[in-house]
Structure 1
Amino acid sequence: MTALYIDADACPVKAEAERVATRHKVAMFVVSNGGLRPSQNPLVETVIVADGPDVADMWIAERCGPGDVVVTGDIPLAARCVEAGARVLKHNGEALTQANIGNVLATRDLMTDLRAADPFRQGGGKGFTKADRSRFLEALERELRAAARV
């Protein structure tokens, strides 16, 4: 049975994911260490984990597997979920797969090193756009359909 796992801390597409999950009648787990308003939707379970580094990530990684979809911007978590056989999407709709997760991890590590080497480096990533939201909705629809066939 397909499940949708949302790494909810700083996730800009929780409401969109809930709409798609409801349409597909898929159980959705919104996982964080607190501060979220629980949904009244019976298909959505809000999971509050203990405070601590990567506790929500561990909860998701220990439960996801083939036929599941995970939404996260956390690349190490994404790698663990891909390894477990889950389908993984970033918030902008980019799919993380066996074919690209190694390069994505390497790029993340390189950027972490560059930021550490230059403490005066300013700015962050790109802002989240309407186009990102639209790509996410299309990608989630596609991944839930594919997961249901597993």
Structure 2
Amino acid sequence: MQIWVDADACPKAVKEILFKTAIRREVKTTLVANQYLSVPSSTFINTIKVSAGFNVADNEIVELCNPGDLVITADIPLADKIVDKGATGLNPRGELYTIDNIKGILSMRNLMEELRSAGSVSGGPAAFSPKDRQNFTNQLDKYLTRHL
């Protein structure tokens, strides 16, 4: 099992949790971004820098992830693609994306996007909070305990 991180929009607090977890649990963790990232020196942590462009990092993750891998992302269309490949997604706020729930989550995301573009709904997600950090940490720990 490997952890893949959609790192361009991943909160710093989540990256720090992932670095500690990769080293402590000895699980390979790869951050994919369109910019250079500073990561701790470890055989379990590496980065892939992709060119700038729409969905370039997402496409790289989809291509490289395998069934049984865990992908950290808040990007629901990306989560849908990796779940179709047999991987599992984990949102930085602690929500798992699985075969059982991703199609419903994707449908709701698409509906909300239509409502926003029509001006019926405004705003986006709340700021990343300490509770989100705790939810992510708990869900990551539960997932790794079950799958390692």
TM, length-normalised to structure 2: 0.92
* Equivalent in the alignment of 1:92: 93
Higher relative contact order (CA 8 A, sep 6+): 1
Aligned to 2:136: 136
Say whether the 8 Å CA contact 1:69–1:89 is kept in structure 2: yes
- Equivalent position SS for 1:59: helix
Q: Is the 8 A contact 2:67 2:87 kept in 1?
A: yes
Task: Tell whether 2:8 aligns with 1:9.
Answer: yes
Deviates more, 1:62-71 or 1:87-96: 62-71
Equivalences for residues 24-43 of structure 1 within 5 A:
24-43=25-44
Q: Deviations over 1:69-97 (max 9, x none)?
A: 11000001101111111121000110111
Q: Percent identity?
A: 39
> Larger deviation: 86-95 or 29-38?
29-38
Is it true that 1:123 corresponds to 2:87 in the alignment?
A: no
Shift of 1:122: 4.5
- Correspondence for 1:74: 75
Letter in 2 for 1:79: D
Which residue does 2:19 correspond to in 1? 18
- Number of corresponding residues: 146
Tell me the SS of whatever aligns to 1:141.
Answer: helix
1:50 corresponding residue in structure 2:
51
* RMSD between superposed Cα atoms in Å: 1.5
Query: Alpha-carbon deviation of 1:138?
Result: 1.1
In 2, distance between residues paired with 1:103 and 1:62?
Answer: 24
For structure 1, the residue ranges without an aligned partner over 5 or more in a row are none
Query: Which sections of structure 2, spanning at least 5 residues, go unmatched?
Result: none
Q: Which runs of structure 1 show a deviation greater than 3 angstroms over 4 or more consecutive aligned residues?
A: none
